[in-house]
Chains A and B, each alone.
Chain A
Amino acid sequence: MTEEVSKSTSSQTRYKLWVDILIFAAFLIAMDPRSSGLALHEWLTLSMLAAMTVHLLLNWDWIIQISSRFLGKLGGLNRVNYILNWLLFVDGTLIMISGIMISEVALPLMGIQLPQGFGWRRLHDMSANLFLLMLGIHTALHWNWIANTFNRYLTQPIVRLFVAGSKKDASA
């Protein structure tokens, strides 16, 4: 039973790591629309709504736990994390909605034409820059988890693979 629980936690952690790497890579590409092109920028960010939903689902227990304890006894770091995550959600929503309002590829392709405006464009730029800063703080606050999980599920298996390969070569 304990082994089963441990296996399920382990696979969930691995899944979380891959989803986070995917979101991070997509964010880096989306942050530079001049290089990636507007079409990729728009479709990628629209699909990030699904990735963000998966990210939230994977951390659902933590969200519920902290939400119920937020007004009571809660560690300072958890409180900061919780507030920062809400700010990220609000800012992420602002990035998406402002992006939708100034869309030049994805929405016209769906036959939707929205009036263009400077306000949404400015908001889109500002919220994206703010998101980058908040993502940096979010990454920093979870750095221990990132480093440990990265080491456990990516670095160590690769190292083991090389060690096993060299042992085979030596015995041959």
Chain B
Amino acid sequence: MKTLGRIFIILFAFVLLSGLMVAAVDASGLNQPDFNGERTEFRPQGQGGEEGGLPFRPDGDRESGERGGRGGFGWIFGAVKNVGVISVLVILIAWPRSMSKKKKKAVAGP
């Protein structure tokens, strides 16, 4: 029962934050493709849209997009890059901290 209550609190916080974010994005007009109503969206001629074909999507419709273009060992590069970023931060933060702890211990003596 206690755990259920805690889960409810976490999900409530998540839903509340999500609602605030959606409201903020909608209010700011950040999600409008045409910000002032003046700029028209670029559409290549003869490719779908109102002429009956597939609707043109400005981003993400290419084969090399998020749909799995980087096959083979491409994922290793992505994973190594992300682990690298985290490792650099760990070295920059954790290493000086452990060094200062060792120094403090050495100063305190046996």
Contacts and interface: CB of A to CB of B under 8 A. Distances in A.
Interface of A: 28-29, 31-38, 41, 49, 53, 56-57, 60, 89-90, 93-94, 96-98, 101, 104, 115-123, 132-133, 135-137, 139-141, 143-144
Nearest to A129: B85
Interface class of chain B by DSSP:
helix
Interface class of chain A by DSSP:
helix
Interface residues of B, number: 45
B89 A136 contact: yes
A148 B3 CA distance: 28
Contact of A34 (B10, B18, B74, B88): B74
> 9 closest A-B pairs (Cβ-Cβ)?
A136-B89, A35-B75, A32-B78, A140-B93, A119-B31, A119-B30, A117-B31, A143-B94, A136-B86
A57 B6 contact: yes
B7 A36 contact: no
Contacts of B71: 35
B65 A34 contact: yes
